[in-house]
Amino acid sequence: MIRFKDVSKQYSTKDGGLTAVNDVNIEINDGEIFGIVGYSGAGKSTLVRMLDGLEAPSTGEIDIDGTDIAKLNGSALRKQRQKIGMIFQHFNLLWSRTVIDNVALPLEIAKVPKAKRVQRAEELIKLVGLEGREHSYPSELSGGQKQRVGIARALANEPTILISDEATSALDPDTTNEVLELLLKINKEMNLTILLITHEMHAIAKTCDKVAVMDSGRVVESGTVFEVFRHPQQQVTKNFVSEEFTTQKGDTTMTLEELVKKYPEGQLIRLVFHGPQAELPIVSDVIKRYPDLTISIISGAIHQTQEGALGSLDLQFVGDETKINDALEYLKKMRVGTEVIHHE
């Protein structure tokens, strides 16, 4: 159990104080994959650095399984750090060491005897699917392979927590998916708590159980990924969610204004539905029930999240205002989330 309680962090700069993290309260349960999403400068990295004791909070308390991290120092802190594995955007591997020596490094630091180090490192290399590359140097590996080494290294000391700090941000989409799948596998096999820091909503949707959205040092919204995706409350969250939906559409990455310009008539409505509803013929139902309405499909996307499929569909409704409202009422009754994007 990780708990951030009223955590704030201020820096003093030449231009006065800077609040990087502002009154953050988060609870992360054991075995959970918890996402923290936010644009750069939102305070995500400061938050995880504090979790690892690399920085101390200005006020508040960070506790892991009942231990207040800020109160630890010296060898107790170093011991605690061994229980947390970390992977990074730029991998941070030692170029001077081979794959196996990189993986064994945390074990060397923990003073594990040589024979055991080698054995454990070999197991981990197998786990992340890099057999045969043990004696390669990082410069001989691709980005995805390097991150696999990073993951193996992070797991060497059998940590209870794995922090992924933008670990997929430097990777291409396919490799990102591979790495995320590996994280999911590790989470299940080792019952590891994973804290996923990212600015990519895609990574959150694919792996996380819960998510906290950060903006200017604050957690502005949090909850299960499913809920946050379905009913984003804050503007930042909406941006992230719609960014995710639009990136999946690929060719039609239109802004709201462009959409409105292109479909000036009637109302533009976004439907959000999940799991069981996605399998019902809801749209065809609406069309049959309200034959006076002209309904065109503009775009749509489906996401696989940890709790099931989550879909979004942008529709254009043209017709009588009251009929449109009736149709929206009907959709609500069917428990489909609706959002009027544009009203004539």
Residues 241-270 that bind other proteins (CB under 8 A): none
Residue 137 sits in the site that holds other proteins (CB under 8 A): yes
Taking the complex as a whole, the smallest distance from the CB of residue 90 to other proteins amounts, in Å, to 6
Minimal CA–CA distance to 108: which of 121, 96, 98? 121
283 contacts 313 by C-beta, under 8 angstroms: yes
Single residue of 80, 119, 224, 234 touching other proteins by CB under 8 A: 80
Residue 96 sits in the site that holds other proteins (CB under 8 A): yes
Q: How far apart are CA 69 and CA 48, in angstroms?
A: 12
203 contacts 196 by C-beta, under 8 angstroms: yes
Taking the complex as a whole, the smallest distance from the CB of residue 96 to other proteins amounts, in Å, to 4
Taking the complex as a whole, the smallest distance from the CB of residue 316 to other proteins amounts, in Å, to 48
Residues 103-132 that bind other proteins (CB under 8 A): 105-106, 108-110
The stretch among 34-42, 138-146, 241-249, 286-294 that binds other proteins (CB under 8 A) is 138-146
Single residue of 21, 62, 70, 86 touching other proteins by CB under 8 A: 86
The residue among 78 and 335 lying less far from other proteins, judged by its C-beta, is: 78
What b/e readout covers 64-93, taking b as 16+ CB neighbours within 10 angstroms? beeeebbebeeeeeeebbeebbbbbbebeb
What ranges in 136-249 are assigned the alpha helix state H? 143-155, 173-190, 201-207, 225-230, 235-249
Contacts of 44 (CB under 8 A, 6+ apart): 36, 37, 38, 165, 197, 214
Residue 9 sits in the site that holds other proteins (CB under 8 A): no
Sheet containing strand 337-343, strands side by side = 294-305, 308-318, 267-274, 337-343
Residue 56 sits in the site that holds other proteins (CB under 8 A): no
The stretch among 8-16, 23-31, 119-127, 137-145 that binds other proteins (CB under 8 A) is 137-145
What ranges in 42-163 are assigned the alpha helix state H? 44-51, 74-81, 99-109, 114-127, 143-155
Residues 141-160 that bind other proteins (CB under 8 A): 157
Residue 52 sits in the site that holds other proteins (CB under 8 A): yes
The residue among 150 and 266 lying less far from other proteins, judged by its C-beta, is: 150
Task: Point out which residues bind other proteins (CB under 8 A).
Answer: 52, 54, 77-82, 84, 86, 88, 90, 92-97, 105-106, 108-110, 137-140, 157
